[in-house]
Homo-oligomer: A and B are copies of this chain.
Amino acid sequence: MRMSELSERSGVPVATIKFYQREGLLPPGQAVNPRQTAYADEHVVRLRLIRGLVQVLGASIEQVRHVVEVIDAPGLTVLEAMTRATHAIPPAGPDGPEGGSEVRSTNATSKLLIDLGLRHAPQSPHVEHLDAALSLAAEVGIEIDTEQMRSYVAAVRDVARADFDRIPWQDPKEAVQFAVLGTVLYEPVLLALRRLAHAEVGMGMSDGT
């Protein structure tokens, strides 16, 4: 396909595509003749990835580059690539520990996770983010308790299994890309649904159902 169709199918303006090309984020197209280059489905897929990262996360070009490099790296298993790529993308939301916050030790958070039976790598950046979130909740007087954490862990396990069921394993590169996008783009889905569920539980309380 030509550049114009690539732009249309990916939803990314031509000027932006050219910028991504200069930044080395897109594989080169195939030269059909000196004045024309042909692009393929892989370019559409890649542009959608970039768009998702930039539009939802406000990811920087450097973050996008890192994710793209992981996806393109040879010799990684799909699971390794997923892990590395998602580690590179901070979750939407709070920036983690800030000036003035007393940060719990991530060891304490890791221990809590062990108590809850959640297998994890203690040095994972997600443990750090969890730690920052738990610290802030405790500081403003709404420390999360173990029972509540237990409910959260059970819930996210079900969500994670549903997420994995959707991954197109037959194509390793697409699988990694899907995992990266799903990690990021389903986060706001989960949060909006949680708020709707609060409203539902509240309605149930007020009308006695």
Binding site for B on A (CB under 8 A): 11, 45, 48-49, 51-52, 55-57, 77, 79, 82-83, 86, 91-94, 98, 100-101, 113, 118-121, 124, 126-127, 129-130, 132-134, 136-137, 139-142, 144-145, 147-148, 151-166, 178-179, 181-183, 185-206
Contact = CB atoms under 8 A, between A and B. Distances in A.
Given A162-B147, A202-B79, A126 B192 contact: yes
Contacts of A201: 157, 160-161, 164
Contacts of A193: 118, 130, 152-153, 156
A190 B192 contact: no
Decide if the interface of chain A is mainly helix, strand, loop or mixed.
helix
Nearest to A45: B141
4 A-B pairs with least C-beta separation: A151-B162, A92-B93, A160-B197, A130-B192
A48 B140 contact: yes
Number of copies: 2
Contact of A48 (B51, B141, B199): B141
B199 A126 contact: yes
Contacts of A126: 192, 195-196, 199
A188 B129 contact: yes
15 contacts: A52-B142, A92-B93, A129-B195, A130-B188, A132-B188, A137-B181, A152-B159, A152-B190, A152-B193, A156-B197, A157-B197, A157-B201, A159-B197, A183-B195, A183-B198
Contacts of A162: 147-148, 151-152
